[in-house]
Structure 1
Amino acid sequence: MDPRTPTRRDVVVEELHGHRVEDPYRWLEADDACDEWLADQERRLAEEAGGWTGRPVFRSLLRSFADAGGAAGHVASPPVVRGGRRFSLRGGAGREHPVLVVADAGRDERVVVDPVALDASGRTTLDLWRPSWSGRLLAYQVSSRGSEDPVLDVVDVADGRRVCPPVRPGRATAVAWLPGDAGFYYVTCPAAGDRQVRLRLLGSGEDVVVFTTDARQLSVFTSPDGRRLVVSSAPGTQCGNRVHLADLTTTTARAPGFRLVHDGTATGVQALVKFGPHGLLYGITTDQASGGAICLVDPDHPATAAWTPLITPGEGGVLSGCAALVEPGAGDVGSVRFLVSSVRRGVARLSLHDGAGRLLTEVDAPGADHGTIMKLTAPPGEADEAWFTYTDFVTPPTVHRFSLRDRRCHLDAPAADPPRHDRPRAVVRQVSYASQDGTEVPLFLICPADRGPGPHPTLLTAYGGFGATAAPAYSPTILAWVASGGVYAIAGVRGGGELGPAWHAAGRGVNKPNAFADYAAAARWLVAGGVTTPDRLAVKGASHSGLMVATGITRDHGLYAAAVCSGAPTDMVRYPRLGIGQWWLTEFGDPRDPAHLDVLLGYSPYHRVRPGTRYPAVLMITARTDPRVGAAHTRKFTAALQHATTSGKPVVLRCEDGVGHGPRAASRWIDVEADALAFCATHTGLDPGA
């Protein structure tokens, strides 16, 4: 054992529902009490990182691939069309953050919001933005140093002049504009207490509360004609919600008369009301449709029980987007067309339907067999074209425009800068494997095209939570690993959204252990199939994906050679007290409930660390202060592993100041990813220089 290994001092022991729960590193929860400990961790890291010889190679590869279209580099978003203006995000080679640009009719793009112009240090991010229906005003939100406590500003797009005092909503908030630029609705998120929808009337100097709830998820929308207001609330992410609808022509913007049109909180059913041309109301729901259904909504009888199903994605399919368009030259509701995106086993699909839901044609989608279509959107009013983003594992995100005139998709956004390094020739395969209970789980393998027979250094990852889908997407991290000769594996374990809401439910709450069983089964499948061996297999993840890693190495430590765990919840007994963990009770369960606590203690990584165990090499990563997860999770788990491991392999912590849980400047992102890949390469035998 390293003589500097932290001792288990001031061990806190609690009796919780019949369990004796030890917490030897409770003292590391205090941000202001661990400076000396963090300084020692920084020295450990510096000593260990000197042996990561692959860092310069990975840094160069990541920069090149990011400049060509990665999340930290080149960005081109579908345009948001308001009035005669088109708003988009734009990135570029060497740029630290994307900028928000606007193009007036017949004019070149110009920058409206540049985070680096606001903060030259690169520690300010543009979180959300929404132009008014006229396009004259813009509401945008920025946060600094990872705080996730943004400032909401409203400016005149023409001259950048601030038009009202800024708002501090507590977290990034939805913004829904009234017509005529009269004001906007936004959501407050106080540290404690109820959430609210408030109306800010420009020029009035007051904010009016129009809706209050104790639900953790809250969003607000208005129709382009200003007639309708929709509020959606839910106790958690990707679980059943409530939808309230108000007609602002019969009530007022200050006192909307809400009607409850959907309540799926008891059944887990989700619903969403959307607006189309000619006053069309339509909805998307998971009621009796595991992959979602598009339905017609009668404005006079808007309750979901009266919705008329029009379109479903078919067996095994999951809806991913819908845009309502109008045939060119037509002028009635019968000319409405629905452009629908869906996905089935990682294959993106576009289809065009008439207003009654009948299939008119399958639309040729861009890209490879396994890809992702996202952010499908159309301008308000009688639009005959829509935009979306396409990406896959080797294709940077590109914006495409669909036109009703020729029923075809056209590349719309300017091409990204070419990478300095050739993108690797990669073979992408989707397979399935059996989990311990026999459930078939999908898995993507991204391999070098010229690889010989295995075993190979392999990186395994999975998200497995909150109904989020690990969809095919361009990743500089994946390409850098594959370009260096490694295999990258992505498991679509239960708890994610790969197969719809039922797949999420099968790995949520008391079912959460299914996700970890699927993860371990993926590792065993890779080994049994000769893809890799335990001494060449690394696992990597951040946030909930990091929980998968932490659980994996405490559950099956002999399966892995190395692990990188970033910003993850690891103390599943105290997680509601750290960061915003109290928001996640529907995902993980409530430790105050004896049945839930039994499950949580069964997998909680911090509580499953056992002294005398030969743990793999571990790189823990956290921000100095993480307002979302809570940096204490990472600190406590690091200390526990350092005290317990007898493998002789390093357990080190990388802690960074001035950032948070979410996005960071491109150069900072490249630095942390290069460290993570170099660490994995060092301990799996991958030589990126070769």
Structure 2
Amino acid sequence: MSDFIQALNRLISMLDDIQPIPSTGKLMNINLIGHFGLNRRLVCTKIAILTVVFLWMSPSISLASDTKVITSKVQKLASKSRNQSINWSTSSYPDSPQVDQIDDYHGQAVADPYRWLEELESQQTVAWAKAQNKLTESLLDHQSIAEIKSNIQAYSNFHTIGALSFRGDYKFYLKGWSGTSTAALFVESIKDGKPRHLAGPDILNKPAKKLTKKPETSKQAEQISGYWPSPDGKHIAVLQSKIGERWGQLLVMDVASGKVLSEISEGITVGLTGISWSRLNKKFLLTRFDAEGKQRRPVNARIEVFKLSDRSLQPVFVPDEKEDRTRLSLGAAMLTDSNRFVVSLRNGSDAQNRIMLMDLDHPKSPALPLFDKLTANRLYLGNKGDQLWFYTDEEAVNGKVVRLDIKQPRKQQVVIPESANPISANSRVGGNALGMFGERIALTYLEAGGYFVKGFDLNGKSIFQFDVPASGSIWGGFRGDPETDDFYYSFLGVGQPSSFYRVDSNGKQTLVAAPELPFDMQITAKRIYVKSTDGAMVPVVIAHRKDLDLSKPKPLFLYGYGGFGWVSFAWYQPHLMEWFARDGIFAVAGVRGGGEYGTPWHEAGVKHNRQNAIDDYVASSEWLIEKGLTSQHQLVANGGSFSGALAASAVAQRPDLYAAAIIDFPILDLIRYVEFGQARFWISELGDPALKDDFEVLLSQSPYHGLSKSKCLPATLVRVGQYDNITTPMHGYKYVAAAQQKRRCEQPVLLDIMEGAGHNYGSNPEEIAHANAVALSFIAAQLARKQSDEKKLTRR
């Protein structure tokens, strides 16, 4: 009997060491040993008893003599299970040759041994990238990926509405699968309410949930990057582009027939080209650019007018030679009751701009300066005749609204004075929500990292106020007709995707459109405050399932951004729903560099102050661990695009805090970043390596240059978009090559090239679900390994 007990105890212990196959949670494909919610030890005990009883009763096995054999077989089984997750110790990285590339910056020699990986289309780079992708695929559990992918697709198997607008007798909106940036433009007659496809990919009849295998390499998919209907709704300008491309084409269409009247295919840039229609519906202004060099960078911005009558294009504003035409961005807005228009001139993503007024009826007349000094940010809100309303933060760090008369532009009247709460108006990457609609001015205010909306009349009298829940944010700004008081906004919540509301002149909100979700999972979110290194209070939004037991640490996914004055928030993402189903927590740290407390918060985290943002991220990580929400064996660091460097720097400085890191389409070479994509527009945030002081800070914080041989970083998955022209894949390529060469640790550094992706996770639900299933499978394998290591240390 003692032999039986001995074998039983050994078998229980060995089974308990087996790495769990990641559970698929809510959708019922539950692996009993791996599911977080079951008593793992009890399940292992039951399996062990059945196994040992079977072996004991077998006439061919002597339990007394073969205990060591049984234990050995179980040990091999446990080892095999671990290796199926990720074979950490025997990973063989593809060869990454180093070249003797030394650059001189301000008298300092800087090595760049992986410069060759900047040539994305060279045979050597293509072969290297394929080998890296193949390695990543070989190390991950394909069954786990397939199951997770299927679940993610279930969480995206519904349509969402975006960019809702009403003009004339029509309602316009983008419609597509949840969690994707690819959507089609639809129009409905308000009279009959029948939807009609107008432009964009016809994807709506393709089910989101289909294949479970990895998709083949895809072509660049088309997307709608913006649309602008005329005031009467009879014509529309639609910007179409391919995923990841910065250049697109503008279609001018007749709404009733759906016929394309004209196509402007040159000089149209995604994210920089804007449209403003004349109130008479016969013409519109647009911003066009030239393409410079091999990278085809947008330069030489100018404003042109398109006339419907003869389909002609004519320049109406060309900046003079003294402007920095390599970084200058322009915006134009027609006044509502004349051919006059406002022009905004801004260098890159700078906070300051200038404003001038021009007249299409007098194109040769000089521009009238309204704000001619680069001392503040100004945003045009609207006009009534010669009276113009602007937002500005000039001599008002929290912002104010002023009114001026065109006849006496120097005499400005403060209509809505600065308050203790900043107006949310200074983000350079979206999220601002303010405007003038009929007799109302609507402003979004920041309060301790959150929001509330206030409505005023045109003289500044407060009319209404309502709060925005911490579980999400207003996205896409306010939309409405400048002639009517009503306006619309889209609320994006972590558990509530893209719901549209109408706000009337008294502030009453009415739900206009919301998706029907094919599942029922209640998500809760709250905002807490963490003290950073220097005492600054960092707002952190924490989201999880309402029924989640928080008495023990849970896997936690920590995201941060901290750039361009954007107020980060938690929004609906299908893969996060799968994360929540697996008992995970999602947190967003509002680090400095963002706009959570207005302009001072933004300025405290950019350029030479960037270390503050990293400190805020690390402090948030420490707090989440100290409060028992997670542990260093369960915390996953995440950043993407501009904030890829934030997460990479945090894990480099404090690798002990994190179990894994997911770095998405990042910018990681901070010395050469200005040479690629649209990054030259980011100089005001990061600094200019051509300036000595900026260079020294950038070099000290550049993740690519700062990799250390002495530190073992967490397991890291770097994900890049196949067609990304914003932060090109070269950043991820060079970082991964350098990290693999310098680190000989058990934790891997892997690369995932997301098929079909631009500056996102893919062009359709299939590709996006696969990319995020790879990431969740990678995380699950690493967390399981960390938990196993922790148990072994506890037993010792």
Q: TM above 0.5, one fold?
A: yes
* CA displacement at 1:378 relative to structure 2: 5.3
- The answer to whether the aligner puts 1:14 opposite 2:103 as a matched pair is yes
Q: Which moved more, 1:664-673 or 1:490-499?
A: 664-673
* CA displacement at 1:107 relative to structure 2: 2.3
Residue identity opposite 2:274 in structure 1:
A
* CA displacement at 1:574 relative to structure 2: 0.8
Structure 1 match to 2:357: 245
1:405-425 Cα distance to aligned partner (Å, 9 max, x none)? x64111112x31222x322x3
Work out whether residues 179 and 573 of structure 2, in 8 Å CA contact, stay in contact via their aligned partners in 1. no
Aligned with 1:188 (options 288, 313, 325)? 288
- The answer to whether the aligner puts 1:217 opposite 2:329 as a matched pair is yes
Structure 2 match to 1:330: none
RMSD of aligned Cα (Å): 2.8
Change (3 A) 1:557 1:84: same
Residue identity opposite 1:341 in structure 2:
T
1:472-504 Cα distance to aligned partner (Å, 9 max, x none)? 433333332222101211100011111112211
- The answer to whether the aligner puts 1:55 opposite 2:145 as a matched pair is yes
Aligned with 1:557 (options 639, 652, 655)? 655
* CA displacement at 1:369 relative to structure 2: 5.0
- The answer to whether the aligner puts 1:354 opposite 2:457 as a matched pair is yes
Work out whether residues 226 and 240 of structure 2, in 8 Å CA contact, stay in contact via their aligned partners in 1. yes
Change (3 A) 1:686 1:639: closer
Q: Which moved more, 1:103-112 or 1:538-547?
A: 103-112
- The answer to whether the aligner puts 1:401 opposite 2:502 as a matched pair is yes
DSSP-derived class of the 2:238 partner:
strand
For residues 542 and 263 of structure 2, the distance between their equivalents in structure 1, rounded to whole angstroms, comes to 51
Q: Percent identity?
A: 25
1:76-100 Cα distance to aligned partner (Å, 9 max, x none)? 4332x32322222223579983221
* CA displacement at 1:317 relative to structure 2: 5.8
Change (3 A) 1:378 1:653: closer
- The answer to whether the aligner puts 1:428 opposite 2:537 as a matched pair is no
* CA displacement at 1:180 relative to structure 2: 3.6
Structure 1 match to 2:73: none
* CA displacement at 1:461 relative to structure 2: 0.9
Structure 1 match to 2:416: 310
For residues 234 and 580 of structure 2, the distance between their equivalents in structure 1, rounded to whole angstroms, comes to 46
1:193-231 Cα distance to aligned partner (Å, 9 max, x none)? 421112233416443252225243322211232432112
**Residues matched between the structures, number:** 660
* CA displacement at 1:346 relative to structure 2: 4.4
Work out whether residues 561 and 642 of structure 2, in 8 Å CA contact, stay in contact via their aligned partners in 1. yes
Structure 1 match to 2:382: 275
1:495-547 Cα distance to aligned partner (Å, 9 max, x none)? 11111122111111222222112112222222222222222111122201222
For residues 655 and 109 of structure 2, the distance between their equivalents in structure 1, rounded to whole angstroms, comes to 24
- The answer to whether the aligner puts 1:586 opposite 2:698 as a matched pair is no
Residue identity opposite 1:410 in structure 2:
T
For residues 335 and 157 of structure 2, the distance between their equivalents in structure 1, rounded to whole angstroms, comes to 37
For residues 315 and 544 of structure 2, the distance between their equivalents in structure 1, rounded to whole angstroms, comes to 56
What are the residue-to-residue correspondences of 1:339-378 with 2, within 5 Å? 339-363=442-466, 368=469, 370-377=471-478
Structure 1 match to 2:254: 156
For residues 342 and 785 of structure 2, the distance between their equivalents in structure 1, rounded to whole angstroms, comes to 53
Structure 2 match to 1:440: 537
Work out whether residues 317 and 499 of structure 1, in 8 Å CA contact, stay in contact via their aligned partners in 2. no
Residue identity opposite 2:771 in structure 1:
V
For residues 96 and 464 of structure 1, the distance between their equivalents in structure 2, rounded to whole angstroms, comes to 22
Aligned with 2:730 (options 620, 632, 654)? 632
Structure 2 match to 1:461: 559
* CA displacement at 1:102 relative to structure 2: 1.7
What are the residue-to-residue correspondences of 1:244-263 with 2, within 5 Å? 244-248=356-360, 251-252=362-363, 255=364, 257-263=366-372
DSSP-derived class of the 1:217 partner:
strand
Aligned with 1:671 (options 756, 764, 770)? 770
Structure 2 match to 1:31: 120
* CA displacement at 1:453 relative to structure 2: 1.9
Runs of 4+ aligned structure 1 residues displaced above 6 Å come to 93-96, 117-122
What are the residue-to-residue correspondences of 1:223-234 with 2, within 5 Å? 223-234=335-346
Structure 2 match to 1:332: none
* CA displacement at 1:130 relative to structure 2: 0.7
Work out whether residues 715 and 782 of structure 2, in 8 Å CA contact, stay in contact via their aligned partners in 1. yes
Which has the larger Rg?
A: 2
* CA displacement at 1:350 relative to structure 2: 2.9
For residues 731 and 561 of structure 2, the distance between their equivalents in structure 1, rounded to whole angstroms, comes to 18
Work out whether residues 473 and 493 of structure 2, in 8 Å CA contact, stay in contact via their aligned partners in 1. yes
Structure 1 match to 2:441: 338
For residues 197 and 493 of structure 1, the distance between their equivalents in structure 2, rounded to whole angstroms, comes to 36
Change (3 A) 1:292 1:60: farther
Residue identity opposite 1:343 in structure 2:
L
* CA displacement at 1:634 relative to structure 2: 0.7
Q: Normalising to structure 1: TM-score of the pair?
A: 0.89
Residue identity opposite 1:25 in structure 2:
Y
1:562-584 Cα distance to aligned partner (Å, 9 max, x none)? 11112111111111112222222
* CA displacement at 1:629 relative to structure 2: 1.4
For residues 96 and 596 of structure 1, the distance between their equivalents in structure 2, rounded to whole angstroms, comes to 35
DSSP-derived class of the 1:77 partner:
strand
Aligned with 2:491 (options 383, 390, 393)? 390
For residues 129 and 677 of structure 1, the distance between their equivalents in structure 2, rounded to whole angstroms, comes to 35
Change (3 A) 1:489 1:568: same
What are the residue-to-residue correspondences of 1:585-604 with 2, within 5 Å? 585-604=683-702
For residues 369 and 150 of structure 1, the distance between their equivalents in structure 2, rounded to whole angstroms, comes to 36
Work out whether residues 179 and 224 of structure 1, in 8 Å CA contact, stay in contact via their aligned partners in 2. yes
DSSP-derived class of the 1:189 partner:
strand
Q: Which moved more, 1:222-231 or 1:374-383?
A: 374-383
Work out whether residues 296 and 307 of structure 1, in 8 Å CA contact, stay in contact via their aligned partners in 2. yes
For residues 218 and 272 of structure 1, the distance between their equivalents in structure 2, rounded to whole angstroms, comes to 12
DSSP-derived class of the 1:128 partner:
strand
